[in-house]
Each structure stands twice: as C-alpha cells, then as structure tokens.
Chains A and B, each alone.
Chain A
Amino acid sequence: MRVMAQMAMVMNLDKCIGCHTCSVTCKQAWTNRAGTEYVWFNNVETRPGLGYPRGYEDQDTWQGGWVRKPNGRLELKAGGRWKKLFTIFSNPKMPSIQDYYEPWTYDYETLLNSPQTDTFPVARPKSLLSGKDMQVQWSANWDDDLGGSQEHAVRDEMLKGIEDKVKLEFEQTFMFYLPRICEHCLNPSCAASCPSGAIYKREEDGIVLVDQDRCRGWRMCVSGCPYKKVYFNHKTGKAEKCTFCYPRIEVGIPTVCAETCVGRLRYIGLMLYDADRVLEAAAVEDEHDLYEAQRSVFLDPRDPEVERAALAAGIAPDWIEAAKKSPVLRLINDYKVALPLHPEYRTMPMVWYIPPLSPVVDVIKETGHDAEDRGNLFAAIEALRIPVEYLANLFTAGDVEPVNDVLRKLAAMRSYMRDINLGRDTDESIPEAVGMTGEEMYEMFRLLAIAKYADRYVIPTAHAEQAHALEELATDCPVSSYDDNDMYFGEGSGPLTPVAVENFEMLRRRQTTDTVAAPPEKSRRVNLLNWDGRGTPEGLFPPKDGA
C-alpha cells in the first residue's frame, strides 16, 4: 500500500443555476491574458448539449484518454510513445480553434468616433486572432439553456444509443447544468501524452500542473485529455490548464470557482488513495465496473491501519485529520451519492458529481402529482428511463443502477426531510428503503443543503516546514493564522501576508461585520480597494472637531 493524498472536489448538480459566476471569476483570476481568450479552465455546459469544445466527448473522433488492450494493459487511445513522436509535427487529433470558437472583441471606436448619422453606428465584431471583421458563429456557451433543442442537443454524444427513445420535443425535454474543471485525474492521460514530461502530478496533493518552463508546445496533452481541459496558449505557444488554484489551496482556502459559486454546490476535501492500485483499477475489463473500481482505490483515513500507513508515507497528521473530515470522502464513500464524470475514459477523474434529481422532480410537478412523495419519486425514477440513462452515460459509463441508487437516495431525503420540516413524525422506513439510517440521512441533508463554509471546504494548509518553497508562503515563519494581532512591531511588521489571504480576510471581514467598510479592529485603516462606495467608512476623513 502506497498512501497518497489527493485534493478532490464534488459538485451537487441539483443546485447549479447555470449562472457562470464560477467561469467568469476563474477567467478573471487565471485566463484574462492575450493568448488565452478562448480558454475556460472552468466552464458550465447545458446538458443535453454539445459542451466545450464542441462535442468533446466523442472519443472516436478525438481519441482522448486510455483504452484497455486485450492483454489487460492500458494504452493511450491516440497511440503509444512512438506514434506520438511520429505525429509530432502535426498532431492529427488536435482540435482547431473553430472547435472552440474564434475569440473576438468589438470595434468600440466606431461608436465613439462616429459622426452624427441617421442610423445608429454599429460596433462590428473583430477577430482577436487576425484582427479582421468576423461573423460570430459559436462561443463557449452558444447552446446555453438550449438543452434538448433539435439543433444542438441531438448531436450530443451522450444521447447515442438512446436517441430513439429520446423525443427532444419541447415539453418532454429535460435540462441541467454541468460545471466542469480539470479532473486532476489519478491516472492523467494529459501527463502521459506529454513528450517533454512537462505535465506532472504533485506528490503532496495530486494537483496536475504544467511546468511552463519545460513545456515545448508539442500539443499532445491537448488531444490526450479526454475532457479537453488542457488548452494551448496561442501567444506563448505553451499548454495551460486548470491549476486547482494551488496558491490558494496551499494556504487553506478554496478554489476561486468554489469560493464564488452562487449555488454553494462545490465541496473540496482530501481523499487518501492507494497509488499502487490505480493502474489495476483503471484497467478493469468491464466499463461498468470502473466506478466501483475507483472507489475501491480510496482509503478510509478513519481506519487505524490506513492512518499508520499514511503517517509512514510521510503524510502529516494534520492532513490525515483533514482527510477524516473531508466532505468529499463523505459524499463519495459514506453516502455514495457522488459519481465520477466519464469513468470510461479510464483516467480516474477526481472531480465528482451528485447527479441532479431535478429532471425527475420537474416531470412529476408538471403532471400535478406530489413531487415530495417517496412513492411518486421512486416510481418516476423507474419510469423516466431517458434522464436516468442519459445521466448514466455521463457518470457510470452507461450503467443505470448506480444512478438509480443515487437518485433514490436523493428522493428519499426529499420526502424524509419534508416530514421533519413540517414538524411531523419521521417515517424511518424511508431511509431504510435506501439502506440508510434516519440519522445518516439527516446528516447527509445538512451537508447537501445547509453546510457552512468550513464544512464544505476542509483544506489543510501546506506544511509550514515546506512553506518557503511555496509561491504564496515564501517565508519560513510557521504562521497558521493571519490574525492582525501578530503584528508585534506596529502595522506592516511581521511576516508577509500572502495577497490571497489578505484579500480573503478583508472580504470575509466585510461580509461578516455590521459596520459598513471599516473593520472594527482597525478603525483607522481604510482599504479603498475593498470599499464598496456605501457610507463614509470611519477613518476615511479625519475626525470632525468636537465630534
């Protein structure tokens, strides 16, 4: 057993409102530079729909991920090392910018400089690649909210095989949102495809990163990743990908997408796993077994034997404690409501999803039945083959049983909690029907519905003894909290506060204090960057005479 720790995320799809806040804040943080205009480390796609880049799930075309060879070993789907080197001068499976979209801006100058005319001047779209006029024909979210429409959804790869049953008529359609980031896979095919060895998985927390100094722009990772989550920066000629906001994670705060998620549907925590068993699990013969196989790779940190092995493997005690409290662990292994996205790619993805019950609930509501009644819900899950099979194509390589189980649990929770909310006696047969106790169900409800910040994100800080090596903590001073109190020699003294922490603390203070802008413990200090323009913060002006 070789214990390793992995930072992982779970998203509860029922709560995603498709607002794209996560995408926008991520873009502001990481990809608002020339060359990355089309790069969305986080994107939110409407399903059924084509996703981003268009139709990326069709691996017959894109050849991403791994395949199991007849001898039971894994091979990159796009071919092994020699084939990679042979096709290095022109990657045959590289998506073109048209598969993403041609980034553009508008010619705002004409609006400002236009002479007086009868008609309103128009700002034309200009390509950010060639600078020429262009027709906008596609973008990162062109089919946003068009779930099920004839034009786009019928081309959804995940509807293959069930298309005859799917009537994409407007009234029979269903739709939900799927936010996606890099999966930070346990068996990343992007890293395996990189000829230069520039993509690596961090030993400490499993975050997959591109070493910008070693990347030589061979583009094999772009085609190697089945989720198409490595992008090519066309200005620098280097690959870039989601970083899991590692500078934030290192200091114990969640990723930008999770921090700003409006639906509060993202959970971040550690998973311990047995690195020796990853390949074996990724190579199980039947695709339907991949979900269970990956779960079997995870270790339970509450097991004393695992804890001992983890300590022996050099995982710090505070990390093991964090792993025990990990919300991700609870959702994946205790309640078994989270499922991996496309396990059939065999990369062992580590961003998991709780499938949405809403397609089912919506249908019941429309028929005028009680959508919180267990009987109705269970019957509907059985009857509504289409959404369930569709979800199974996304999350379990087409095996409907695990999806059914999850949906039944969510349905049971719905009816069970109604009794509690209405002050009625609880019906213990409801949790029993899905193999849970009432207490477990209530705990699951709390985690899914009302979990506080500290319960949703359990992120141990990077080790103090390594701190000087980290970007944000370039100091050896083992500070674990950034209270203002540890400035012993006046303001500005003491260790450098990482920018991310400072901003985070300021925001937190502003969001949690009653005063308008001035943090009570620093009455004389006004940070105009964080002043939202309301009121006159104390300390902004010198005190009035006599006041």
Chain B
Amino acid sequence: MNTFLWVIVPYLCLAVFVVGHIWRYRYDKFGWTTRSSQLYEDRLLRLGSPLFHFGMLGAVGGHVVGLLLPQSWTDAVGISDAAYHWGAVLGGLAAGVMLVVGMAILIYRRRTVGPVFSATTPMDKVMYAVLGVVVLLGMWNTVLGASGLEHYNYREGVSVWYRSFLAFQPQPELMAEAPIGFKLHALSAFVLFALWPFTRLVHVFSAPVGYVTRPYIVYRSRDERPLGNAAPRRGWDRVGS
C-alpha cells in the first residue's frame, strides 16, 4: 500500500504531467492560454485575481523552501529551528489567507456572474474542485502547525521523501509516518499535477519573463512554414528540409 501510494501514484502523476505538457504544447499551442474572463467582469476580478495569484506565488515559494532545502542547510547558515518555524508559519499563513480569500472571490464570481459561468468548461470545474481541496488541506496543515496542536517536523519527513522522490530513490516509509493531513495534501496535489496539462493551468509555464529583456517591437519575417491547409506540394520542399 505504501509503495502504491507514495511511489507508484506519484510517479504516474509526474509522468502524466511531463508527457501531457509535451503533448499539449505540440498539438494545442492555440489552446495554450490563460482563458482570461476579465472582459466579462472586472470589479471582483480586480480584487480576487491578484490576491489569489500573489498568494499562490507565496505558497509556491514556501513549498520550494520547505520541500527542497534540506534542514541541514538552514542549520548551517545559522537559522534556528524556532526562527524557521515561525517564519514558515507566518509566511505560510499570510500567503494562505490571500490564496483562500482570493480563491473564494474568484469562485463566487465564477458562479454568480452569468457570462463567466457560461464560459466555464467542465474541465475548469474539476480543476477548481481539486485545486480547492489542495489549498484547503494545505491551509489545514499550516493552521494545525501554527496552533501547536500538532507537532510534526515535515522537514524530517515529507520533505526528505519528496527529495528522494525527485532523485528517483523513493523512501515511501517516510510518508507513511506523516499525519493524515499531509498525506491527503500530497495526494491531492499529485492528482492536480496529473490534471495540470489538460487545464488552463498550463499558462503557468508561459510566465512571460522574457518580456523584461526583449526589445519592445518584435519584427518577424513572413512565416517560413506554410500556413493554413495548403501544404507545399510534393517535390517542392525547401532545400534542407
């Protein structure tokens, strides 16, 4: 059972995640978009979307630190466990509250604003449900940890397992000892990763960082590849193709 939950399922989801993205990028560049609904409604989005996205960036940042940085490293630079704990709890709570409030606004908006609701696909709904579960479970763990009701040092459990998973030497027994909240959070997150390439979440991977350095105006020659349905005729392929 442990092997199934903490080895097979995660690797399956990871495989779907990677292959799914490659497939989607090759066959559906046209569908690769944020599918923004700002045109329909602005007032709620103006509040909810930045809250949600910046909260999410904070949460992702927290996960990178918590999951990928070994405890020995923070110890080495002289951050005490208590300092780390409070930093993580406060940062996690701030990001989590932004995230949850933002998401609540966005879901409320999606349901109540007519045009936005009718532009919502079934895939969107599934994605929202899974994402909501992941976020709420994560929030649950953070709150439990902050209130001191639960003493679990995930940096000696979940994090080590996660790194072992990424290194392809999984240690499922570490996960088996984790509290149920962490287990569920991790599992639902893997489901989300498996869904990812087939949802609008793909827009995460087109975060336009290149914008900062590229020249303002882009010049391009007419497309080299034939467009539309009129392919070059046989025998007329370009030199070198």
Whether a CB of chain A sits under 8 angstroms from the CB of B203 is yes
**Which of A80-88, A141-149, A373-381, A430-438 lies at the interface?**
A80-88
**Which of A128-136, A258-266, A406-414, A526-534 lies at the interface?**
A128-136
Contact A215 B33, beta carbon cutoff 8 Å: yes
Contact A188 B217, beta carbon cutoff 8 Å: yes
**Which of A5-13, A197-205, A296-304 lies at the interface?**
A197-205
Chain B residues in 8 Å Cβ range of A197: 208, 210-211, 214, 218
Contact B115 A237, beta carbon cutoff 8 Å: no
Whether a CB of chain B sits under 8 angstroms from the CB of A195 is yes
Write the A15-35 contact mask toward B (1 if CB under 8 angstroms, else 0). 000000000000000000000
Chain A residues in 8 Å Cβ range of B38: 90-91, 94, 96, 219
Contacting B at CB under 8 A, from A52-105, are: 76, 81-82, 84-85, 88-92, 94-97
Given A195-B208, A217-B33, output 5 extra A-B contacts at Cβ < 8 Å. Answer: A76-B216, A89-B52, A130-B118, A199-B218, A216-B203
Using a CB–CB cutoff of 8 Å, the interface residues on chain B facing chain A are 29-42, 45-46, 49-50, 52-54, 114-115, 117-119, 203, 206, 208, 210-212, 214, 216-228, 230-233, 236, 238
Contact A237 B33, beta carbon cutoff 8 Å: yes
**From B39, B206, B216, B221, contact of A216 by CB (8 A):** B206
Chain B residues in 8 Å Cβ range of A81: 211-212
User: Could you tell me the distance in whole angstroms from the C-beta of B116 to the nearest C-beta in chain A?
Assistant: 9
**Which of A323-331, A360-368, A470-478, A483-491 lies at the interface?**
A470-478
Contact A496 B230, beta carbon cutoff 8 Å: yes
Whether a CB of chain B sits under 8 angstroms from the CB of A426 is no
Among B29, B33, B119, max chain A CB count under 10 A is at: B33
Q: How far is the CA of A466 from the CA of B223 in the complex (A)?
A: 10
Contact B115 A127, beta carbon cutoff 8 Å: yes
Chain B residues in 8 Å Cβ range of A187: 217
**From A195, A214, A235, A471, contact of B226 by CB (8 A):** A471
**From A89, A96, A130, A192, contact of B42 by CB (8 A):** A96
Whether a CB of chain B sits under 8 angstroms from the CB of A352 is no
A-B contact list, 29 entries, CB within 8 Å: A76-B216, A82-B212, A85-B212, A94-B39, A96-B41, A96-B42, A127-B115, A129-B115, A188-B217, A191-B218, A192-B217, A195-B208, A197-B208, A200-B220, A201-B217, A201-B218, A215-B33, A216-B208, A219-B38, A237-B34, A462-B222, A468-B238, A471-B226, A471-B228, A474-B230, A474-B231, A474-B232, A475-B230, A476-B236
User: Could you tell me the distance in whole angstroms from the C-beta of B59 to the nearest C-beta in chain A?
Assistant: 15
Chain A residues in 8 Å Cβ range of B230: 471-472, 474-475, 496
Chain B residues in 8 Å Cβ range of A196: 206, 208, 211
**From A199, A234, A472, contact of B40 by CB (8 A):** A234
User: Could you tell me the distance in whole angstroms from the C-beta of A49 to the nearest C-beta in chain B?
Assistant: 23
Q: 7 shortest A-B CB distances, which residue pairs?
A: A130-B114, A195-B208, A474-B230, A129-B115, A192-B216, A237-B35, A217-B33
**From A88, A90, A200, A236, contact of B30 by CB (8 A):** A236
Chain A, interface SS category: loop
User: Could you tell me the distance in whole angstroms from the C-beta of A476 to the nearest C-beta in chain B?
Assistant: 5
Chain A residues in 8 Å Cβ range of B221: 202-204
Chain B residues in 8 Å Cβ range of A521: none
Whether a CB of chain B sits under 8 angstroms from the CB of A244 is no
Residue of B nearest to A88 (CB): B208
Residue of B nearest to A473 (CB): B230
Q: How far is the CA of A89 from the CA of B46 in the complex (A)?
A: 8
Contact A90 B45, beta carbon cutoff 8 Å: yes
Chain B residues in 8 Å Cβ range of A188: 217
Count how many chain A residues have C-beta atoms less than 8 Å from C-beta atoms of the other chain: 58
Using a CB–CB cutoff of 8 Å, the interface residues on chain A facing chain B are 76, 81-82, 84-85, 88-92, 94-97, 127, 129-132, 187-188, 191-192, 194-197, 199-204, 212-219, 232, 234-238, 462, 466, 468-472, 474-476, 496
Residue of A nearest to B38 (CB): A94
**From B30, B52, B236, contact of A213 by CB (8 A):** B30
User: Could you tell me the distance in whole angstroms from the C-beta of A498 to the nearest C-beta in chain B?
Assistant: 8
Contact A217 B35, beta carbon cutoff 8 Å: yes
**From B30, B45, B52, contact of A212 by CB (8 A):** B30
Chain A residues in 8 Å Cβ range of B31: 236
**From A76, A89, A96, A131, contact of B54 by CB (8 A):** A89
Q: A82-B212, A216-B32 are in contact. Are A476 and B218 (CB under 8 A)?
A: no
Q: How far is the CA of A129 from the CA of B119 in the complex (A)?
A: 8
Q: How far is the CA of A216 from the CA of B30 in the complex (A)?
A: 9
Q: How far is the CA of A91 from the CA of B49 in the complex (A)?
A: 10
Contact B220 A203, beta carbon cutoff 8 Å: yes
Q: How far is the CA of A496 from the CA of B226 in the complex (A)?
A: 14
User: Could you tell me the distance in whole angstroms from the C-beta of A217 to the nearest C-beta in chain B?
Assistant: 4
Chain A residues in 8 Å Cβ range of B46: 90, 92
User: Could you tell me the distance in whole angstroms from the C-beta of A389 to the nearest C-beta in chain B?
Assistant: 33
Q: How far is the CA of A84 from the CA of B31 in the complex (A)?
A: 23
Residue of A nearest to B233 (CB): A475
Residue of B nearest to A38 (CB): B39
Q: How far is the CA of A474 from the CA of B34 in the complex (A)?
A: 33
Chain B residues in 8 Å Cβ range of A462: 222
Among A127, A192, A462, max chain B CB count under 10 A is at: A192
Residue of A nearest to B48 (CB): A90
Residue of B nearest to A82 (CB): B212
Residue of B nearest to A498 (CB): B230
Q: How far is the CA of A132 from the CA of B206 in the complex (A)?
A: 35
Chain A residues in 8 Å Cβ range of B115: 97, 127, 129-130, 234
Contact A218 B236, beta carbon cutoff 8 Å: no
Residue of B nearest to A212 (CB): B30
User: Could you tell me the distance in whole angstroms from the C-beta of A40 to the nearest C-beta in chain B?
Assistant: 15
Chain A residues in 8 Å Cβ range of B211: 81, 84-85, 194-197
Among A127, A187, A469, max chain B CB count under 10 A is at: A469
Q: How far is the CA of A188 from the CA of B37 in the complex (A)?
A: 25
Chain B residues in 8 Å Cβ range of A195: 208, 211
Contact B216 A234, beta carbon cutoff 8 Å: no
Residue of A nearest to B40 (CB): A97
Contact B34 A191, beta carbon cutoff 8 Å: no
Q: A92-B46, A129-B40, A237-B35 are in contact. Are A213 and B220 (CB under 8 A)?
A: no
Chain A residues in 8 Å Cβ range of B203: 216-217
Q: How far is the CA of A217 from the CA of B34 in the complex (A)?
A: 6
Contact B236 A89, beta carbon cutoff 8 Å: no
**From B35, B216, B226, contact of A469 by CB (8 A):** B226
Q: How far is the CA of A84 from the CA of B224 in the complex (A)?
A: 31
User: Could you tell me the distance in whole angstroms from the C-beta of B100 to the nearest C-beta in chain A?
Assistant: 16
Q: How far is the CA of A454 from the CA of B34 in the complex (A)?
A: 45
Chain A residues in 8 Å Cβ range of B224: 469
Contact A474 B54, beta carbon cutoff 8 Å: no
User: Could you tell me the distance in whole angstroms from the C-beta of A3 to the nearest C-beta in chain B?
Assistant: 14
Q: A471-B226, A471-B228 are in contact. Are A89 and B39 (CB under 8 A)?
A: no
Chain A residues in 8 Å Cβ range of B37: 234
